[in-house]
A and B are shown apart, each in its own frame.
Chain A
Amino acid sequence: MEMNRRKFLKLGTAAVAGLGVAAASSNPAVAAAVNGSYKESAGKRSDVTWGMVIDMKKMDEATLNKCIEACHKFHNVPNIDTKKDEVKWIWSEPFEHLFLDEVHDKMGDKYKDMSFMTICNHCDEPVCVRVCPVKATFKNAQGVVGMDMHRCLGCRNCMAACPYGARSFNYKNPRNYLDEINPSYPTRMKGVVEKCNFCSERLAVGEMPLCVEEAGGAIIFGDINDPNSAVSKAIADNFTLQRRTNLGTKPKVYYIV
């Protein structure tokens, strides 16, 4: 058969295309991508904006410690003693640190030193989300500021940006500082930032955050956009404070003082 350049290219192209089709169809299992579907867990509330009121009239030291312990135990938060390396989701802070602008120089020590429960404020305008270069930190549809640990590269921009010191960096391998690992929740690795996630793993299945359950009424949690929710009523009926409202971050954690 006479073979010129044009014929050769035609035949060659057809042969290669045929081989490709044969390879793809011979192994259908490998060719298919994920095509299952997803659905929400029963009990998950999607049409809400979660907020929290901490009633400091009811929140005593013992209750606070119970909240911290339950949270840190479940979320595998390491217990590191040194101030620089410590990792915390909930912690205790004196009034004068929490409410810088409300302190005056004649304020009595008993008020200045009053210990307050401190957590991430889950701001409506979260600075940490704006500065994250990889969108590891994000605000979800229910207003919870969460972290995607798979994405965090440990640049610590969010730590510099957060005006509330709510974020901790894992300078050390956290697994070395856990007495017991909770097998139902991941740990973190060295080199990522972490913080309170409003127990989004529990909210996603219709449960309340752990600290809310531990606090026995000292923490009120719910939809701050619903005027009839317990949390909205607590805000309406009591004198509440928020941390550093002048910054415009719009925290969703309120304190009844």
Chain B
Amino acid sequence: MKKTNMIIGLVIFAVLVTVPFWSAILSPASGAAPEVSFDTPVINQLSGDDYKCVEDVEWMRAHHMDLLSDWKVEVVREGTRVYVSNDGTEYLASLQNTCFECHSNYEDFCLKCHTYSNVTPTCWDCHVEPTVVGGAN
């Protein structure tokens, strides 16, 4: 009797401890990477060779934070404001004036991945995301 109780207790314990794992397996959507939206007025007008980000899309996905951090130093401390990307295109190095020009959908773009990967960048404490523009929040 004592032994059975112990085993039941152990099973319950094991199930509880592994909740994060099997709940993720059982709910099909939760593990899937989010679909970010490129449906913005400016992006929709781009076509052919113009349809591109500052750098290669795969690289941007992995490294946009490195690029922004690099820009931050160059722009603020050196006053150098033009970034020449690997394919030779020149961009004004500015989150608000360049990135948001195309990615004007903060909720469906930035926020989606940041929520998924559970990161809370402090950019938005000061930098004005497109949705804030037009009124104080």
Where the two chains meet, the residues of A that have a C-beta atom closer than 8 Å to any C-beta of B are: 29-30, 32-41, 44, 76, 138, 140-142, 146, 148-150, 175-189, 200, 203-205
- Interface residue B72 (Cβ < 8 Å from any Cβ of A): yes
- A181 partner, pick from B76, B85, B136, beta carbons under 8 A: B136
Q: Does B97 contact A (CB under 8 A)?
A: yes
For the complex of A and B, list the 10 residue pairs with the smallest distance between their C-beta atoms, beginning with the closest: A189-B125, A29-B58, A183-B133, A204-B79, A186-B126, A34-B70, A36-B85, A38-B80, A37-B84, A39-B82
14 of the cross-chain contacts (CB-CB < 8 Å) are A33-B63, A34-B67, A35-B86, A36-B55, A37-B84, A38-B78, A40-B81, A140-B78, A146-B77, A175-B132, A185-B96, A185-B128, A189-B122, A205-B81
**Which residue of the partner chain, among B67, B75, B79, B135, contacts A142 with CB atoms under 8 Å?**
B79
CB pair B62 A29 closer than 8 Å? yes
Interface size range on B against A: 35 or more
Question: Given that A181-B132, A183-B133 are known contacts, is A36 also in contact with B96, CB under 8 Å in the complex?
Answer: no
Asked if residues B96 and A189 are in contact (CB atoms below 8 Å), the reply is no
The answer to whether residues A38 and B128 also contact, given A29-B58, A181-B135, A181-B136 and a CB cut-off of 8 A, is: no
CB distance from A179 to the nearest CB of B (A): 7
Partner of B62 from the list A30, A179, A204 (CB cut-off 8 Å) is A30
**Contact flag A32-B76 (CB < 8 Å), given A38-B82, A39-B84, A181-B136:** no
Q: Which residues of A contact B122 (CB under 8 A)?
A: 189
Closest A residue to B97 using CB positions: A184
Task: Assess whether A36 is in contact with B86, with CB atoms less than 8 Å apart.
Answer: yes
When C-beta atoms are compared, the residue in chain B nearest to A37 turns out to be B84
Contact present for A175 and B136 (CB under 8 Å): yes
Docked complex Cα distance between A181 and B133 (Å): 6
The answer to whether A188 and B63 touch across the interface, beta carbons within 8 angstroms, is no
Other A-B pairs, 10, CB within 8 Å; known A35-B86, A141-B79, A146-B76:
A29-B56, A34-B66, A36-B67, A37-B84, A39-B80, A39-B82, A39-B84, A150-B72, A186-B96, A204-B80
Across the interface, which residues of B come within 8 angstroms of A40, CB to CB? 80-82
Given known pairs A186-B127, A186-B128, A200-B79, the reply for A38 and B93 (CB within 8 Å) is yes
Q: Taking chain A's interface residues, is the majority helix, strand, or loop, or is none over half, making it mixed?
A: loop
Q: Say if the beta carbon of B108 comes within 8 Å of chain A.
A: no
| Nearest CB in chain B to that of A142: its residue | B79
Is B136 a contact of A150 with CB atoms below 8 Å? Answer: no
- In the docked arrangement, what's the CA distance between A142 and B80, Å? 12
Smallest CB–CB gap between B79 and chain A, Å? 4
A46 to chain B minimum Cβ distance, whole angstroms, is: 8
Partner of A38, one of B83, B132, B135: B83
Chain B residues closer than 8 Å to A76, beta-carbon distance: 128
Contact of A183 with B128 at beta-carbon distance under 8 Å, contacts A36-B83, A41-B82, A176-B136 already known? yes
